[in-house]
Amino acid sequence: MSLSWHLLAFIVAICLLVTVHEFGHFSVARLLGFKVLRFSVGFGKTLWSHVAGADRTEYVIAAVPLGGYVKMLDEREGPVAAAELSRAFNHRPHWQRIVVLLAGPAFNIIFAVLLLTAIMLVAGITEARPVLGPIDAASIAGRAGLRAGDEIVAVDARAVDSQRAVLLDLLDAVSGGSPVVLTVRNGAGAPRTSTLAINGEAERRRLTEPSALMSGLGLEFYEPPVPPVLGSVESNGPAARAGLQAGDTILAIDAQPVHDFQNVVTQIQSRPGQRISIQYRRRGVDASVQVSVLAQTQDGRTVGRILARPPPLPPYPESLLRHTRLSLPGAFVQANVQAWDMTALQGRLFWRMLIGRVSVKNLSGPVGIAELAGDSASLGVAPFLYFLVIVSLALGFMNLLPIPLLDGGQILFQTIEWLKGSPLSERIQAIGQQLGIALLVLLLGVTLFNDISRQFG
C-alpha cells in the first residue's frame, strides 16, 4: 500500500473526527449563549477561512490536520466590551462551561454510536464462530489441553460467541492478573474447562504487546486453507526476479512439499537471507527456480520474504458464520452495547498500562494510525468506517482524561473553581498547563518511539 494512500486515509479520518469533536464544543457553546470567535480544523498556517453569522465567527481550515480548536470570547485572553461580558467564557455559569467542554468528547462517542448503528443496519452483524485451528502441543494452549476443532464458548465464565469477543475478553483477562479459564466444546460433547498457565506479570505484559496475544498463547482460529497459488508478485521482488508469476502453483520448497499457502509462508519466513529452490506448476508444466529470500523485520524478529501475495481468500464455511439482520432500534441498541464495551475495556487497559500490566507498545502515534487508516481503507468502505468508530471512541475517551490542555483537565479545573467559589490562581493554572504539556510531550515521545520501532524493528 503506497505512502500517499495511507496519508490520504489518515487525513480524511483525522479531519472528520476533529471536525466532529470541535463541532460538539461549537454547537453546544452557541446553544448556551457563549460567543464563539473561531472554529478551526487543524493548526498552523491558515489554508482557508470564512467569516459568517451575527457573531462574525471565523471558520478556518489550517495546514496541520492533527487537531483543532474552538476559540470563545474570554476575558482572560484579552479585553472584552462591557456589553459582551455576559457571553464571555469566564463569565458563564460553571455548569455551562463544563457542559461545553464535555460536548467535544460526547460528540465523538455519539458519532461512533450513530456510525456503528448505520453499519449494523445496512450489513447486519456477521461474525465468525471462535473455532480453533491447529494447536501446538508445547504451547500454553496445548499444555492446557486445547485441541483443533474446539470452540471457545466462554472466557472466565463470560459467554462469547465470536472471534472478536474472544480476542477482547482474552486481552482483558490476561492483563487483569487472574487465572484465565476457557470453556470449550468440541462437536456434540459436553463443555469442558481449560486453564491457561501464564507465568508471572512479565509474561502477561509481554502477551499484551501488539500481535503477541494469540501467538504467545499458542491459539489460532480455524481458517479455510488457501491453495499454494501466487495471487500477485511484486515487480523487482525476489519472486519476480526469479521468474515466478501470478497464478503459479507452488509444489515444493527445497524438496519439501507444500499443501497450502500457509505452508509456503512458514517455510519462506524460516529462511531469511537464504537461497532456496522453489518447484512450481504453470499451465500444467512443472519447473523449478532458485530464489534469494529477503530478510525483513516483523514484530521484532527477522523473517524471510519473496514479496508474493496469496490468491483471494476462499469463503468462510457458512456453518462457522453467524449472521444477524437488525431493525433500526435493534442496531441502535447493539451499537450502544458495543461502544460501551469498547470504551470500558479501553479504560481498564489504559489504567493497567499506567500500573505496568499492559505494554506501552500498544500506544500508536500518527504513523501507526496512518498505517491502520490506509490498511482499513484498502479493505473497503465497511472496514474503514469501523476504523473510524474505534478511533472516534478513543478520541472521546482520551479527551476525558484529567490532563491539563485536554478537555478532561479543563473540566477538572472548572469543577475545582466551582466548588472553591473563586478562580484558581494564575500560578496554579500555569503549573497545570506546564504539567499537561510535559505529559503530552512524554506521550507523544512514547508513541513516536513505538511507531519507529514497528517500522525498523
pLDDT tens column, 315-328: 888 888 989 899 99
Residue 237, amino acid = G
* Calpha distance 180→202 (Å, rounded): 16
User: Which residues form the catalytic set?
Assistant: 22
| Residues above pLDDT 70, as percent of the chain | 93
Q: How far is CA 240 from the centre of its chain?
A: 34
For residue 402, pLDDT beyond 80: yes
> What integer pLDDT is reported at residue 353 of this predicted model?
87
Average per-residue pLDDT in the chain?
88
193-212 confidence digits (pLDDT tens): 999 999 888 899 999 888 88
**pLDDT confidence of 343, banded at 50, 70, 90?**
very high
Residue with cell string 518511539? 449
Q: Given this model, what pLDDT does residue 42 score? A: 87
For residue 444, the tally of other CB atoms under 10 A from its CB is: 13
Q: What DSSP string runs through 54-112?
A: TTTEEEEEEEEEEEEEEEE--GGGS---GGGGGGSGGGS-HHHHHHHHHHHHHHHHHHH
Q: What is the mean pLDDT of residues 280-291?
A: 94
Residue with cell 477538572: 412
Residue 183 CA to residue 159 CA, distance in Å, equals 9
Query: Residues 359, 104, 19, 87: is their CA dihedral positive or negative?
Result: negative
- Res 448: pLDDT: 64
Q: How far apart are CA 254 and CA 433, in angstroms?
A: 62
Q: Residues 329-358: what's their mean pLDDT?
A: 92
- Mean pLDDT, to the nearest integer, of 113-120? 96
DSSP lists the bridge partners of residue 321 as 128
Mean local confidence (pLDDT), 32-40: 94
Q: Tens digit of pLDDT for each residue in 147-162?
A: 999 999 999 989 998 9
Q: Binning pLDDT at 50, 70 and 90, where does residue 365 land? A: low
* Residue 254 CB contacts under 8 Å (≥ 6 apart), including other chains: 267, 276, 277
pLDDT category of residue 446 using cuts at 50, 70 and 90: low
Tell me what the mean pLDDT of segment 185-191 comes to. 81
Helix runs in 244-327, H state only: 261-269
Minimal CA–CA distance to 195: which of 157, 221, 161? 157
| N-to-C CA span, the chain | 19
Between β-strands 249-253 and 256-257, what pairing exists: parallel, antiparallel or unpaired? antiparallel
